[in-house]
């Protein structure tokens, strides 16, 4: 996506700020931060800050007032203390691969880039842990652990580029999260700083930590509570063998039911992914993974463990899939073929980029038994909004990733795309799900938060934020919509012929 759209009012961007007022504020902030950082670590000229104007959701753009690139924890603390004293908003940024606008800068704020925190500090093969800085890439952890027969399990599709700090902020998952869990299940300890520059730690490298389980609050908090600088993660042994089933279905409902049938049989695959026909066509043309292009949907079901465990589990899954109506089943015969099966799934996003000028990747979660319902609903939305949509998702835990195809240079298409995306999110809620899975809320889903959560619930979220950040300076205007925004969105919601928020069932 490459065209800016309306900025959320919560970010203080609507209506703009007088140029001279912004320039004066920038000069003040630069003067205060310059003594704290090396000259190359403080950017404020337009040509230097423009690379930071958005994350992976490029429909929303805003150049920051200043970009700070600290190299030590002491510098991070000093920048935060200064910004707190001046009342300057701070937006922490990792690799910028997020897809919900979580790292969108504040017009009058400092973007705190943590890209230089990219060292693996300690890898303990005996304890099966790795202590890493927040800017270490997800895949780099597994690469460092590989000589010890270990790896880091959460594997988002962007793992080649995304950082562990961003994974913690969004509670990222990946194709193997069904068996091995999300980030929260694979992190032992986090270290960081409050907006006041105070060092804090949550969790422990031991089996338990004293006090309240605040790490569960921090993981997935989207940079709103603290700036994370260091993370200790669990490592797991690399399975002796992994094999993947590719199952074809001639009907979406059969494919959706098959997912529930596999889990209902007491099988927890290492990965259980689903792609619809438009998506398989897009990725097959891109990577030639050997997908069945006649199928309405395909499932990728992986088993890993010892050879004996894998053989037994593969046989059980094949039996279940056949009974569920699979029209074709292929089982990987070697590691190269297994990786080929997964190459299509891992390249779903770039493959979609080849067939459309732009796409918006949505992210919601529904009960597994409603997979077919949401796919059929999306098919109707394609007609309603006159836009195409390719679907790929973590079927095992119901985490959807519909990719809406459009041209961002056409304002009308962008508007219809936003309405399409909101419809998907709100339909997910009506089906008993939630508006996000692993991409976070950021700015993209602010309005949809009004649909899922009642005013009292949103106020509880704000109260938690204020406990960490009383002045609401850390990543302000994200995740939790204001009462005014929800009131305005509610009027628009009803005007579009949709249910009032109070009438939408909450499960």
* Cα 215 to Cα 169: distance, rounded to the nearest angstrom: 11
Instruction: Record the tokens describing residue 138, joined without a space.
Output: 């997800």
pLDDT digits (tens, 9 = 90+) for 139-170: 999 999 999 999 999 999 899 999 999 999 99
- Domains recognised in the chain with CATH numbers: 9-113 (3.30.43.10), 120-237 (3.30.465.10), 241-349 (3.30.70.2190), 356-503 (3.30.70.2740)
pLDDT level of residue 15 (50, 70, 90 thresholds): very low
Tell whether the model's pLDDT for residue 28 goes beyond 90. Answer: yes
Rounded to an integer, the average pLDDT of 109-129 is 98
pLDDT level of residue 490 (50, 70, 90 thresholds): confident
Closest of 453, 390, 448, 442 to residue 418, by C-alpha: 448
pLDDT digits (tens, 9 = 90+) for 29-67: 999 999 999 999 999 999 999 999 999 998 889 999 999
Range with top average pLDDT, 134-138, 153-157, 203-207: 134-138
* Cα 373 to Cα 453: distance, rounded to the nearest angstrom: 22
pLDDT level of residue 491 (50, 70, 90 thresholds): confident
Higher pLDDT pick, 211 / 466: 466
pLDDT level of residue 8 (50, 70, 90 thresholds): low
Sort strands 271-276 and 227-234 into parallel, antiparallel or unpaired: unpaired
pLDDT digits (tens, 9 = 90+) for 402-419: 999 999 889 999 999 999
Rounded to an integer, the average pLDDT of 251-267 is 95
pLDDT level of residue 178 (50, 70, 90 thresholds): very high
pLDDT digits (tens, 9 = 90+) for 422-466: 999 999 999 999 999 999 999 999 999 999 999 999 999 999 999
Tell whether the model's pLDDT for residue 494 goes beyond 80. Answer: no
pLDDT digits (tens, 9 = 90+) for 305-324: 999 999 999 999 999 999 99
Q: In what order do the strands lie in the sheet with 110-113?
A: 42-43, 66-68, 110-113, 90-93
Q: What is the pLDDT of residue 144?
A: 98
Running DSSP on this structure, what letter comes out for residue 137? B
pLDDT level of residue 212 (50, 70, 90 thresholds): confident
Q: What is the dihedral of CA 132, 133, 138, 141, to 10 degrees?
A: -30
Residues facing 303 on adjacent strands: 243
Tell whether the model's pLDDT for residue 1 goes beyond 50. Answer: no
Q: What pTM was computed for the model?
A: 0.91
Mean pLDDT, the chain, rounded, equals 92
Instruction: Record the tokens describing residue 323, joined without a space.
Output: 């009974």
């Amino acid at each position: 996506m490459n065209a800016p759209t309306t900025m959320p009012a919560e970010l203080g961007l609507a209506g703009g700020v007088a140029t001279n007022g912004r320039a004066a504020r920038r000069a003040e902030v630069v003067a205060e931060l310059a003594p704290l950082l090396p000259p190359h670590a403080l950017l404020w000229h337009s040509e230097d800050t423009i690379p930071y104007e958005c994350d992976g959701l490029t429909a929303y753009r805003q150049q920051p007032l200043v970009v700070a690139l600290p190299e030590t924890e002491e510098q991070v603390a000093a920048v935060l203390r200064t910004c707190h004293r001046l009342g300057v908003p701070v937006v922490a940024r990792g690799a910028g691969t997020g897809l919900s606008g979580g790292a969108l800068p504040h017009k009058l704020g400092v973007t705190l880039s943590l890209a230089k925190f990219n060292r693996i500090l300690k890898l303990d093969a005996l304890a099966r842990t790795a202590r890493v800085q927040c800017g270490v890439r997800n895949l780099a952890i597994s690469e460092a652990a590989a000589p010890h027969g270990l790896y880091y399990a959460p594997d988002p599709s962007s793992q080649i580029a995304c950082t562990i700090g961003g994974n913690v902020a969004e509670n990222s998952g990946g194709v193997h999260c069904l068996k091995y869990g999300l980030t929260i299940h694979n992190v032992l300890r986090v270290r960081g700083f409050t907006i006041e520059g105070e060092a804090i730690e949550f969790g422990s490298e031991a089996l338990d930590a004293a006090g309240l389980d605040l790490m569960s609050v921090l993981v997935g908090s989207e940079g709103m509570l603290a700036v994370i600088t260091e993370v200790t993660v669990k490592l797991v042994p690399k399975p002796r063998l992994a094999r993947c089933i590719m199952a074809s279905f001639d009907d979406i409902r059969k494919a959706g039911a098959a997912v529930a049938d596999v889990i209902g049989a007491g099988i927890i695959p290492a990965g259980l992914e689903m792609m619809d026909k438009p998506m398989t066509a897009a990725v097959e043309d891109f990577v030639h993974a050997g997908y069945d292009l006649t199928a309405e949907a395909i499932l990728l079901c992986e088993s890993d463990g010892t050879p004996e465990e894998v053989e037994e589990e593969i046989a059980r899954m094949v039996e279940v899939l056949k009974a569920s109506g699979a029209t074709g089943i292929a089982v990987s015969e070697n590691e190269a073929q297994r990786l080929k099966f997964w190459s299509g799934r891992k390249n779903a996003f770039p493959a979609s980029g080849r067939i459309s000028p732009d796409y918006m990747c949505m992210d919601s979660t529904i009960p597994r038994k409603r997979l077919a319902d949401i796919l059929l609903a999306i098919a109707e939305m394609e007609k309603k909004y006159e836009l195409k949509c390719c679907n790929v998702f973590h079927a095992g835990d119901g985490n959807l990733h519909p990719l809406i195809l459009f041209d961002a240079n056409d304002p009308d298409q962008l508007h219809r795309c936003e309405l399409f995306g909101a419809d998907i999110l709100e339909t997910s809620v009506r089906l008993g799900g939630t508006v996000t899975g692993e991409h976070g809320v950021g700015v993209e889903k602010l309005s949809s938060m009004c649909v899922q959560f009642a005013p009292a619930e949103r106020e509880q979220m704000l109260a938690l934020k204020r406990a960490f950040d009383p002045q609401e300076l850390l990543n302000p205007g994200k995740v939790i919509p204001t009462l005014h925004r929800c009131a305005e969105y509610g009027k628009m919601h009803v005007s579009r012929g949709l249910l009032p928020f109070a009438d939408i069932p909450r499960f």
